Amino acid sequence: MSSPFETLWQQRYRDLRNQPPAIADSPVLEALLGHRSVRRYLDRPLPPGTLETLLAAAQSAASSSNLQAWSLIAVQDPQRKARLAALANDQAHIRQAPLFLVWLADFSRAQRIADNQGATLQAPAYLDSLLVGSIDAALAAQNAVVAAENLGLGTVYIGALRNDLQAVIDELQLPPLVFPVFGLCVGYPDPQQPAAIKPRLSQEVVLHRETYRPGEGEAQAIADYESAAAAFSREQGQDSPGWSRQVIDRLQGVAALHGRERIAQTLRGRGLAQR
């Protein structure tokens, strides 16, 4: 009989090449391997203290130089959620989820600290600072995702929040040196429409040892993944052009950026990514 960890592993890879190693199972590993994005939510409020608990988990993530160069906006007002949903490809789950979190790379706080001390900051204008703030925000958000799933909640990231960056900046009244990295829906998953574990690429495709060297078996392993992903889509009742096709469609033309091709310009106007 398979352990819960082994079962989750098999669901994650659906691939005989990737067998679970004989390593101590743990509730944390089970929680991580059991992740799935949730796009159907119950109309049920979150218990008091949920936001603060998610935030404590988020703030417990590592932070580059402990700058803590990120902030969070919790949106619960249905009208504001609806306006943000409209800006993010009209995704219904943003309206449905009781809580919508916007994760920000934030150097405006550092700027206020510097202003108070009469100091000038040069680094926020450099591209690396945008990476620092965005990485900090992403690590924090992922900790919140794991915490939310542990509380029986579901989440889905919303990268489409960057489609119309300027409108989101205006809606959230973001000062210069602040960049909305992505949104995150949080709510109770609708048990009538459960989400499933989406398979991932075989480990041998993703893992390189010592130096970057795509293995000889890469094309075959990707073809096998294609079959597993297609089976997953069929089970979910979704039409899919195939995973490789999706990768190409998403990256081939500028149209698939849905407005995000303008981000560099908007950021430069806000004092970020100048050089």
Interface residues toward ligand FMN, by CB under 6 A: 35-37, 39, 91, 156-160, 182, 198
Residue number of the CB atom closest to ligand FMN: 159
* Token pair for 173: 């009244």
How far is 117 from 126, CA to CA, in rounded Å? 22
Distance in Å, CB of 233 to ligand FMN, minimum: 11
How far is 245 from 241, CA to CA, in rounded Å? 6
How far is 57 from 151, CA to CA, in rounded Å? 12
What is the residue type of 236?
A: Q
In the bound state with ligand FMN, the residue whose beta carbon lies nearer, of 113 and 193, is: 193
Distance in Å, CB of 82 to ligand FMN, minimum: 16
Nearest in space to 103 (alpha carbons), one of 63, 136, 62, 149? 136
Distance in Å, CB of 121 to ligand FMN, minimum: 27
In the bound state with ligand FMN, the residue whose beta carbon lies nearer, of 80 and 200, is: 200
In the bound state with ligand FMN, the residue whose beta carbon lies nearer, of 55 and 195, is: 195
In the bound state with ligand FMN, the residue whose beta carbon lies nearer, of 35 and 81, is: 35
How far is 74 from 59, CA to CA, in rounded Å? 15
In the bound state with ligand FMN, the residue whose beta carbon lies nearer, of 114 and 195, is: 195
Strand pairing of 70-75 and 154-158?
unpaired
> Which residue(s) pair with 155 in the sheet?
186
Distance in Å, CB of 109 to ligand FMN, minimum: 23
Distance in Å, CB of 107 to ligand FMN, minimum: 20
